[in-house]
Structure 1
Amino acid sequence: MGSGIQRQRELNDQLQIKLNENRELAKALVVSEEHTRHDVARELHDEVGQTVTVIRTQASIIKRLTTQQPVLTSAEMIETAALRVYDGVHDVLAKLWPAALNNLPLSAAIAALMRELIPQDQSVLGVLNWQVNDHPMDETLKITLYRICQEGVTNAYRHGAASRIEINARQDNQQIYLTISDNGKGIDLASITPGYGLRGIQSRVSAFGGNVSLSVDNGTCLNVTLPTVSLSTKGN
């Protein structure tokens, strides 16, 4: 009897070790993905930004040096196309790496994100109640919280037909509690597709040993819990 209990304990310990190893691997993958995103964003900004600037400068010089209407028209078209490229790259950069995280506290970066994702002219109210201390916070945890908010607000705006989207975040000594809710039509949980983004949120949260749940009750509510142990991992 005693040996059976001991064997069960050993198996449980081995299982826990494997779970921890898988969690660390998942977290390493999240870190690697974000580093890659950051590097690609920086390269795009430097290379494409400089090239677009050169194209616009040359088009401007052509416009000053000629009075021929066909040439002027072509130069203006080149300048307009260069601006479109710049705007398109700017949008891609924002998805790859949120520049606001480089300069702002997480709460301010998420406030800026909500203003960006919820157009003012669409009569949708965005509400942010953020009570999570940014300092100290592991950079991977910070970007994970940002990505969850990014995906959650995007889903609520695109799929929820809501007039109010709300983010609430608080923490205690052990957990961060993040809720993204809306007052829209709700979604059919059985019909969620990979494009909805829940799988990506689940994988990120699982990497930190957290939990995700999605409920539909007078709208949609995404609940996320993350352990605060990761707040100071970087400094250890």
Structure 2
Amino acid sequence: MAQSLTGLLLGSGIQRQRELNDQLQIKLNENRELAKALVVSEEHTRHDVARELHDEVGQTVTVIRTQASIIKRLTTQQPVLTSAEMIETAALRVYDGVHDVLAKLWPAALNNLPLSAAIAALMRELIPQDQSVLGVLNWQVNDHPMDETLKITLYRICQEGVTNAYRHGAASRIEINARQDNQQIYLTISDNGKGIDLASITPGYGLRGIQSRVSAFGGNVSLSVDNGTCLNVTLPTVSLSTKGN
């Protein structure tokens, strides 16, 4: 009798533990889907802001330059000519500054290029083309079809990883390797530098930002600092919501 009661209680406890584990997994998936939705919302906002800045500031700068050019044609007074040239130069600086901000807000390359080509363009942009630093890209990930949020997440990770390697790693070689199987994407960003001092990296759109984005997809991030820095990221190729269907 006692053994039967013990077995019954044990079975009930195991069943309860399974139910709690299932509930915990459901909540974990819900939290990840919420985090992913926040990433999607953030990227949409950044895209909208970038488009508005491009349209509004671009048009305004064009008007300013046009007016400065008209003034230069209509006057022979040197002080006025000098002022018009200064206005034109300032307008160009504003445009260049906004262009840099736009590139950070939304990578225009993703609008019309495959992800691999966009990453290659990113490396050319971030790494000096004077042969002081060699950039190597080995991209074996098919982005057709690919979740758009996953695509921008991979781009942001590469953007942050290469930036950190160049600014903080004192490397002469920065390498991106990406491959995939039926379930996972494996991304590695490595360099041969001195190794990043983790305390020197500003939080935000740094490693913490990468961790948040990867966690939203149910992926993993690891960072090793030994004979350079190596950032390893694993991301599922199928979204959590799709798995749940």
- On whether the aligned pair clears a TM of 0.5, the verdict is yes
The structural deviation recorded for 1:191 is 6.2
The structural deviation recorded for 1:230 is 3.4
SS at match of 1:127: strand
How many corresponding residue pairs? 236
Distance change in 2, residues 1:195/1:37 (3 Å): closer
Cα deviation 1:34-89 (Å, max 9, x = unaligned): 00000000000000000000000000000000000000000000000000000000
SS at match of 2:239: helix
Identity of aligned residues (%): 100
Q: Over alpha carbons, which structure has the higher Rg? A: 2
Where does structure 1 lack aligned partners over 5 or more consecutive residues? Answer: none
The structural deviation recorded for 1:227 is 0.3
Is residue 162–residue 185 contact of structure 1 (8 Å, CA) maintained in 2?
yes
Is residue 174–residue 228 contact of structure 1 (8 Å, CA) maintained in 2?
yes
The structural deviation recorded for 1:216 is 1.2
SS at match of 1:33: helix
2:206 aligned partner: 197
- Using the alignment, how far apart are the partners of 2:94 and 2:142 within structure 1? 38
- Using the alignment, how far apart are the partners of 2:43 and 2:54 within structure 1? 16
SS at match of 1:121: coil
2:190 aligned partner: 181
SS at match of 1:225: strand
- Using the alignment, how far apart are the partners of 1:195 and 1:235 within structure 2? 31
The structural deviation recorded for 1:99 is 0.3
Residue 234 (1) aligns with residue 223 (2): no
Distance change in 2, residues 1:232/1:69 (3 Å): farther
Cα deviation 1:77-135 (Å, max 9, x = unaligned): 00000000000000000000000000100000000000000011260000000000010
Select the residue among 57, 63, 72 that pairs with 1:63.
72
TM-score (norm 1): 0.96
Where does structure 2 lack aligned partners over 5 or more consecutive residues? Answer: 1-9
Is residue 29–residue 240 contact of structure 2 (8 Å, CA) maintained in 1?
no
Is residue 46–residue 105 contact of structure 2 (8 Å, CA) maintained in 1?
yes
Residue 48 (1) aligns with residue 57 (2): yes
TM-score (norm 2): 0.92
1:96 aligned partner: 105
1:150-189 matched pairs, under 5 angstroms:
150-189=159-198
The structural deviation recorded for 1:233 is 5.8
The structural deviation recorded for 1:194 is 1.6
Cα deviation 1:136-172 (Å, max 9, x = unaligned): 0010000000000000000000000000000000000
CA RMSD of aligned residues (A): 2.1
SS at match of 2:144: coil
Is residue 33–residue 240 contact of structure 2 (8 Å, CA) maintained in 1?
no
- Using the alignment, how far apart are the partners of 1:89 and 1:200 within structure 2? 23
The structural deviation recorded for 1:30 is 0.2
